[in-house]
Amino acid sequence: MESCFHCGEDCQEELINFDEKSFCCSGCKTVYEILNSNDLSYYYDLQSSPGTSPKLSEGKFSYLDNSEIAEKLLEFDHEGTQIASFTIPSIHCSSCIWILENLGRLHKGVKSSQVDFPRKKIRISFSSEELSLKELVVMLARIGYEPNISLENYEEKETSVDRSLIYKLGVAGFAFGNIMFLSFPEYFEMNEFWLEKFKHLFRWLMFAFSLPVVFYSGKDYFISAFKGLRSGLLNIDVPIALGITVLFLRSTAEIVLDLGTGFFDSLSGLVFFLLLGKFFQQKTYSFLSFERDYKSYFPIAVTRISMENGQTKEEQVQVFNIKKGDHIIIRNEELIPMDAILIKGDASIDYSFVTGEAQPVSKKMGDKVFAGGRQQGGIIELEALRSVQQSYLTELWSDEVFSKDKNSQFHNLTNQISRRFTYAVLGIAILAAIFWMFYDSSKAWNVFTAVLIIACPCAIALAAPFTLGNMLRIFGRNHLYLKDANIIEKMAQVDTVVFDKTGTITANDNGSIEYEGLELTEDEKQLLGGSLRASNHPLSRSLYKILDRNNISTPESFKEHTGKGLETSYKELNLKIGSHAFVANSQNTNTEARAQVNPQKTSVFISCNDQYKGCFSFHNSYREGLSDLLNELSENKQLIILSGDNDGEKDRLKKILPKDTKMYFDQKPGNKLQFIKDLQEKNRKVMMVGDGLNDAGALAQSDVGIVISEDINVFSPACDGILDARRFSELGKFFRLSEKSISIIRISFLLSLCYNVVGLGFAVSGNLMPVVAAILMPLSSISIVAFTTLATQFVSKKSSKNEIRS
């Protein structure tokens, strides 16, 4: 057994030899010839098996001949130079980067090409006089790097990167350093001549440095506090804004009245550390998309047919230009972009993309087909029932759940304590001021402001961002990529976990197949292998993989009935392979074997010489560690299976799932969304775990939506997090880490409280000096950051030294 020189696949049949090398298919051989003839064979020295076999159907990119569509995909078009960017999911190694950045050696029309590896994107500059956009895309597809061009590309807007937080952090850091430098001599009350002579200048310089800190770097805290108060909510930004205000006003007053140096160092340090925490928390995975909808999946154009002067005319048009009544053509493996009626051809529609149901559905003329189905077989002609925006699938995105902000409805732990904290601080400040009004009225104002200054919750505000931000990084290293750090806090509150079935708890590539029926003879097995080898149907390919491929008979005649099955012959044998309805038409069907048919199973049926033989039944293969994971989660969470599949594997699932797990089948996308809503109305905190576009509504509605992905860079529906399928069994560990993160935050709050108690001792006694504030406020911030960093490292290592990497 040899491996393909280009893609590394095992070559067990149909060996193609060229240049003393073996290739598994003509596509791989063609790519090798292209690279070799253009002196690009170094491609194979970078990494073995770097490429993929190209599968390019005729007319696949014909829509790029439409200038209106092509114009939308171009970033630049002037004086013969055009620039376009594409997403190429198959980019995965150094050899991919090398070949894609040397496209100019494949075609002189390519001027330059640059790969963005983390985002799987390439930006190409080319001459429109020597190379059209369509020719460029076809060239990429021919060498195994087919771009993904979808409706999302057509509507893609220029996205601006918000760097305001970086600018604010830079301003605060610059001011903090300079103010500390200018105020340092006054900490020790040095009576040096020149310092004493210029101290007023230094104080006004500190005032000048503090202005951009308060009115630029810190303005978001004032805005947030104002919005919170207007909504009747005392969030953590209220006491922070109050502390910044009092620090600035009292420090300014001390300088104006020549009473001292003020607290500008503490003010700038406070804002700097707060912004540093916010920056750390917002740092996330820009190369992953958490907001994909149907536009990420749907084609950018379709073939519309019409009659013109008695002649049939075919044209490539944008999908948004298709109206009710238009006739369109859908080819093999193409996605149906709108609800329609089948008017010509045999359709075998794979709806797994929408419902999760793996078995293709046969349709006949006059049947209705829904958007999101993928045609398996020959060309079909459809009549559109409605536009793309009004289809069954896209109407799901009109639900309010896709426009609401889940974070706005979530009150995190920090904001939950801010109300009590604010009331406590104001109460202490007022009581202390009243006491000093009677005991020594000259100190009352100083004590009141001192309490507000020293009790400013800088350390409290930093505890959550640094704990969750660090845990976000640890989760990412272990292949759970979360949209933002708040998701970790939400995970700790989850009490109900809802799983989709197909593609989520089942593995996509490890299904088991068993034969039920009469034993096949050796000749029948050989013909079966040869027949399946000639078919490109997914079930045929899956079944072919398990057969003995060394002893096969090539059919003398081969006929594929689209949506039904295969009919082949060799010598005396006539074999039928396909659906139950197709094979059961055999005249001498054996009733005993036929009685074994289970319509709920995905099966391939076989008859030989009109004698029914039996069927190969396909069983889902469940992910490794599933049973252990579910048993672990069931200890403190309610588990639910919510599937678009039929209940054919219900009995098998019962043996795997914990006793109290509830199962619901035949659930449409809208049903799933409503199911999650119903759980939330019962005050359940719900995590939805899914994998497909059919789960998008439920993922968006849930408190936490996690997508299981075989490839994190390939399409996934809108979600809060993406979990690499290889780490599925570790979901319970991520739950435990999220709960421990909340414990770390609470301990940090207690440490912060200790600092506040010490500081308040100085403040209420009227002894708060600038040097005390300058020491306590930064010290509390730095110690909280150090504690949260070390604590998260410790709990992640303790959780699992072998599986969770910190």
Domain boundary, last residue among 703, 736, 769: 736
**Long-range Cβ contacts of 615-618 (<8 Å, 24+ apart):** 615/515, 615/516, 615/517, 615/580, 616/513, 616/514, 616/515, 616/516, 616/543, 617/513, 617/514, 617/515, 617/516, 618/358, 618/511, 618/512, 618/513, 618/539, 618/542
Regarding whether 86 and 137 lie in a shared domain, the answer is yes
Residue 268 has pLDDT above 90, yes or no: no
Same domain, 729 and 757: no
Domain membership flag for residue 305 = no
Considering the domain architecture, whether residues 633 and 715 belong to the same structural domain is answered as yes
Instruction: Please tell me what DSSP assigns to residue 159.
Output: P
Determine the 3-state secondary structure of 702 from DSSP.
Answer: coil
Residue 51 has pLDDT above 60, yes or no: no
pLDDT at 174: 93
Which pLDDT does position 660 carry in this prediction? 85
The pLDDT, as a whole number, for residue 297 is 60
369-390: pLDDT as tens digits = 877 777 876 788 888 887 776 6
Give strand pairing partners of 708.
723
Query: What share of the chain in percent tops pLDDT 70?
Result: 73
Residue reference for tokens 């996205």: 159
Number of domains present in the structure of the chain: 6
| Average pLDDT estimate for 544-571 | 75
387-442: pLDDT as tens digits: 776 665 555 555 555 555 555 444 566 666 666 777 777 787 788 888 878 877 77
Judge if 628 and 771 occupy the same domain: no
Question: Using CA atoms, how far apart are residues 453 and 242, in angstroms rounded to an integer?
Answer: 9
12 band by pLDDT with thresholds 50, 70 and 90? very low
Instruction: Copy the structure tokens of residue 109.
Output: 């029309």
Mean pLDDT of 442-451: 73
The confidence score (pLDDT) of residue 211 equals: 93
Q: What share of the chain is helix, strand, coil (3-state, %, to 5)?
A: 45, 20, 35
Contact 245, 272 (CB under 8 A): no
Predicted local distance difference test score (pLDDT) of residue 29: 65
Q: Which residue has the tokens 């806090």?
A: 489
CATH number of the domain at 140, please.
3.30.70.100
Read off φ and ψ for residue 459, nearest 5 degrees.
-65, -40
Instruction: Tell me if 51 is assigned to some domain.
Output: no
Q: Can you give the pLDDT at residue 589?
A: 47
Phi-psi region of 464 (alpha: psi -120 to 50; beta: other; left: phi over 0): alpha
Confidence of residue 587 (pLDDT cuts 50, 70, 90): very low
Res 639 pLDDT > 90: yes
The answer to whether residues 182 and 145 belong to one domain is no
Domain of residue 657, CATH code: 3.40.50.1000
Helix (H, G, I), strand (E, B) or coil at 196: helix
The DSSP call for residue 119 is T
Provide the pLDDT for residue 526. Answer: 85
Residue 666 has pLDDT above 70, yes or no: yes
- Within-domain flag for 291: no
Hey, which of 93-102, 292-301, 526-535, 760-769 has the most confident mean pLDDT?
526-535
Overall average pLDDT of the 134-150 stretch: 81
pLDDT score recorded for residue 679: 92
Identify the CATH number of the domain in which residue 519 sits: 3.40.1110.10
216 pLDDT above the threshold of 90: yes
Q: What percent of the chain has pLDDT over 90?
A: 6
Q: State the pLDDT at residue 279.
A: 80
- pLDDT exceeds cutoff 70 at 604: yes
One domain, residues 557 and 698: no
> How confident is the model over 224-236, as a mean pLDDT?
76
Instruction: Assess if residue 304 is contained within a domain.
Output: no
The answer to whether residue 251 sits within a structural domain is yes
- 48 falls within a domain: no
Q: Which of 621, 656, 681 is the last residue of a domain?
A: 621
**Mean pLDDT for all residues in the chain:** 76
Are residue 457 and residue 498 in the same domain, yes or no? no
User: pLDDT category, 592, cuts 50, 70, 90?
Assistant: very low
On whether both 629 and 729 belong to a single domain, the answer is yes
Q: Do 627 and 498 fall within a single domain?
A: yes
Orientation angle between helical segments 444-454 and 770-799, nearest 10 degrees: 20
Confidence of residue 352 (pLDDT cuts 50, 70, 90): low
Q: Is the pLDDT of residue 802 over 50?
A: no
Average pLDDT over residues 443-471: 75
Better-scored residue on pLDDT, 58 or 313: 313
Residue 713 is which amino acid? N
More confidently predicted of 499 and 296: 499
Pick the range with the lowest mean pLDDT from 459-473, 493-507, 621-635, 718-732: 459-473
Report the pLDDT value the prediction gives residue 430, as an integer from 0 to 100. 81
36-46 pLDDT tens trace: 666 666 556 55
Residues 557 and 657 in one domain: no
Cβ-contact 614, 594 below 8 angstroms: no
Is the pLDDT confidence value at 561 over 70?
Answer: yes
Choose one of 621, 648, 678: the last residue of a domain.
621
Whether the pLDDT of residue 751 is over 50: the answer is yes
- Weakest mean pLDDT among 19-33, 240-254, 431-445, 790-804: 19-33
**For the stretch 526-553, what's the b/e string if a residue is b when 16 or more beta carbons lie within 10 angstroms of its beta carbon?**
bbbbbbbbebebebbebbbeebebeebb
Distant-in-sequence contacts of 26-29, Cβ < 8 A, 24+ apart: 27/53, 27/54, 27/55, 27/56, 27/144, 28/4, 28/53
Task: Give the domain CATH number at 377.
Answer: 2.70.150.10
Instruction: Answer yes or no: are the C-beta atoms of 341 and 364 closer than 8 Å.
Output: no
| Domain identity same for 608 and 642 | no
Q: Which residue segment(s) compose the domain that 213 sits in?
A: 164-282+410-467+739-799
Per-residue confidence (pLDDT) for residue 543, from 0 to 100: 79
The verdict on residue 703 lying in a domain is yes
Q: Is residue 526 part of a domain?
A: yes
Same domain, 179 and 278: yes
Residue 26 has pLDDT above 60, yes or no: no
Tens digit of pLDDT for each residue in 298-335?
Answer: 666 778 888 777 777 777 777 777 888 888 888 777 77
What integer pLDDT is reported at residue 496 of this predicted model?
93
